[in-house]
Amino acid sequence: MKSIRVLLMGCGGVGRQLLQHVVSCRSLHAKQGLRLRVVGVCDSKSFLVASDVSKMELDDASLMEICRVKSSGSSLSTLNSSGDSQIFTNMESTRKVLDTATLLGRSTGLVFVDCSASSETIGVLTQVVDLGCCIVLANKKPLTSSLEDYEKLVSHPRHIRHESTVGAGLPVITSLNRILASGDPIHRTIGSLSGTLGYVMSEVGDGKQFSEVVKAAKCLGYTEPDPRDDLGGMDVTRKALILARLLGSRINLDNIKVESLYPDEMGSDRMSVEDFLANGLPLLNKDIETRFRVASSNGNVLRYVCMIEGSSCQVGIKELPKDSPLGRLRGSDNVLEIYSRCYRDLPLVIQGAGAGNDTTAAGVLADILDLQDLFP
Ligand SMILES: NC(=O)C1=CN([C@@H]2O[C@H](COP(=O)(O)OP(=O)(O)OC[C@H]3O[C@@H](n4cnc5c(N)ncnc54)[C@H](OP(=O)(O)O)[C@@H]3O)[C@@H](O)[C@H]2O)C=CC1
Ligand SMILES: N[C@@H](CC=O)C(=O)O
């Protein structure tokens, strides 16, 4: 039986769903001669780790207990160390994470899975790639910080997978990599890559109230932990940057102009998430609904579009015909059209659910399994 050891950073909506998929796929993986061994799990302040990571793993009962504790809103640190596992907090937890990478990276192998929404994981990830570890990311921040960090993270292409950073479980990154690897130059990609904004735009277009639709998107697990990351366009901009860098552009976030659906006065430096949801959002209803009415009176809809062509990368709201491919999008669906030499006039089109914990975690799990040939 091949063992793939996993260390999970982040056990929010996506991370917990991943743990549940790992447990529920046990017999499927066993038939494939595989076992995923989760040796440790981190949240923002703590690290729960198997006592002897080279021989032990967190058992399924512990993984389910982690999910229960985290979905109740508590910290991992409320779990007690036992004979089988230990809990570390704050600085000690980072040290223990790196010790685990050092011990397993070049022996049994270890996959670091980043399901956080934090930039704080970048320091650890850039170190563990040099310790022989693989990385799988749902978190977009590590790939959208400095070019130096980006180059470091992708320096061992066979050791990194990040399908869920763009389009959740959709095969966007895989498709682009396959086209590029075959020497087929990609000239242009255009799409709608925010599940949240897609959902908001189609629901508001159907007459629902903007503020209520945003809250529903949060409950459905489509938004970032702070929905302003979606509404301000920053989440789509990160996806655009990941695609642009993959296609060879050496640009940064500040090279991409972003259009926001909320004003600076409602920024995260001025209002908490709770305050924004309760008091900021409703103030935006009137303006946004007027914008939608104007588009509708022209027979059009509004969509948040991402376009990459050569070295130019743009994101923003566009008024589009209702019956265009982007105009027909419903709910949290994403769509990406890829134009290359082989797909010159009729693009390769990838479409489907582009957000949600289940599909995202499934994408992360598929990425982990895709690394199996690197494990003894
Ligand atoms: N939901 C979706 O549809 C999709 C999400 N993604 C990405 O998946 C990621 C996770 O999203 P989601 O699960 O909704 O986010 P949540 O906010 O639900 O969970 C984030 C988790 O990360 C933990 N965390 C925060 N900082 C750190 C850190 N420094 N080290 C380790 N863990 C940390 C948090 O800990 P604590 O509980 O202590 O706060 C929490 O457990 C995001 O990057 C998102 O962009 C990607 C594609 C689709
Ligand atoms: N918040 C994101 C989740 C996936 O990346 C979105 O709405 O698309």
Q: Do the domain assignments include residue 175?
A: no
Residue 366, in any domain of the structure? yes
Same domain, residue pair 148 and 190: no
Q: Which residue is closest in CA terms to ligand 2's atom 3?
A: 355
> What pLDDT shows up at residue 240?
98
Q: Indicate which atom in ligand 2 lies nearest the CA of residue 230.
A: 1
Ligand nearest to the CA of 119: 1
Structure token pair of residue 180? 């590029």
DSSP structural state of residue 176 = H
Residue 97 amino acid letter? V
Predicted local confidence at residue 82, as pLDDT:
82
| Segments forming the whole domain that contains residue 253 | 181-354
Task: Assess whether 226 and 364 both reside in one domain.
Answer: no
Q: Are residues 233 and 291 in the same domain?
A: yes
Residue 271 in any domain: the answer is: yes
Same domain, 33 and 133: yes
- Side chain identity at residue 85, one-letter code: S
State the distance from the centre of ligand 2 to the C-alpha of 164, rounded, in angstroms: 10
Instruction: Measure Cα distances from 221 to 91, 271, 361 in Å.
Output: 30, 22, 12
Whose atoms come closest to the Cα of 115: which ligand?
Answer: 1
Q: What percent of the chain has pLDDT over 70?
A: 100
Rg, C-alpha atoms of the chain = 21
ipTM over 0.85: yes
Distance of CA 282 to the CA centre of its chain: 27
In a domain, 246, yes or no: yes
Geometric angle at alpha carbon 105, from 92 and 87, rounded to 5°: 25
* Same domain flag for 189 and 309: yes
**Phi and psi (nearest 5°) for 314?**
-130, 145
Query: Residue 327 corresponds to which tokens in the numbers above?
Result: 């105009």
307-330 residues labelled b (16+ CB within 10 A) or e (exposed): bbeeeebbbbbbbbeeeebbbbbe
- Is 322 annotated as ligand-binding? no
Q: Specify the DSSP element, H or E, that contains 94.
A: helix 90-104
Please tell me whether residues 94 and 232 are part of one structural domain: no
| Percent of the residues in the chain that have a pLDDT greater than 90, as a whole number | 97
Residue 49 maps to which CATH number?
3.40.50.720
Residues 138 and 214 in one domain: no
With bands split at pLDDT 50, 70 and 90, how would you rate the model's confidence at 79?
very high
- On whether both 362 and 342 belong to a single domain, the answer is no
- Residue 140 marked in a binding site: yes
End-to-end C-alpha distance for the chain, whole angstroms: 9
Q: Which two tokens stand for residue 148?
A: 């130096």
Would you say residue 271 has pLDDT above 80? yes
pLDDT digits (tens, 9 = 90+) for 82-91: 889 999 999 9
Residues with Cβ within 8 Å of residue 173, at least 6 apart in sequence = 161, 162, 163, 165, 166, 242, 246
Q: What is the pLDDT of residues 195-237, one digit of tens each?
A: 999 999 999 999 999 999 999 999 999 999 999 999 999 999 9
Residues 364 and 281 occupy one common structural domain? no
How many Å apart are CA 351 and CA 170, to the nearest integer? 7
CA distances from 167 to 72, 113, 134, 331 (A): 28, 17, 21, 13
User: d(Cα 374, Cα 357) in Å, to the nearest integer?
Assistant: 27
Q: Structural domain tally of the chain?
A: 2
Residue among 194, 336, 351, 359 whose CB has most ligand 2 atoms within 8 A, to mutate: 194
CATH of the domain at 233: 3.30.360.10
Q: Is the CB of 166 under 6 A from ligand 2?
A: no
**b/e string for 107-146 if b means 16 or more Cβ within 10 A?**
ebbbbbbbbbbeeebbebbbbbbebbbbbbbbbbbbbbbe
Does residue 364 fall inside a structural domain? yes
pLDDT category at 80 given cuts 50, 70, 90 is confident
What spacing in Å lies between the alpha carbon of 328 and ligand 1's midpoint?
30
Mean pLDDT of the chain: 96
Gap between the Cα atoms of 194 and 197, Å rounded: 5
Helix axis angle for 13-24 and 60-71, nearest 10°, is: 150
The pLDDT of residue 358 is 98
pLDDT tier for residue 272 given thresholds of 50, 70 and 90: very high
Task: Report the pLDDT value the prediction gives residue 311, as an integer from 0 to 100.
Answer: 87
> Residue 313 corresponds to which tokens in the numbers above?
């990368």
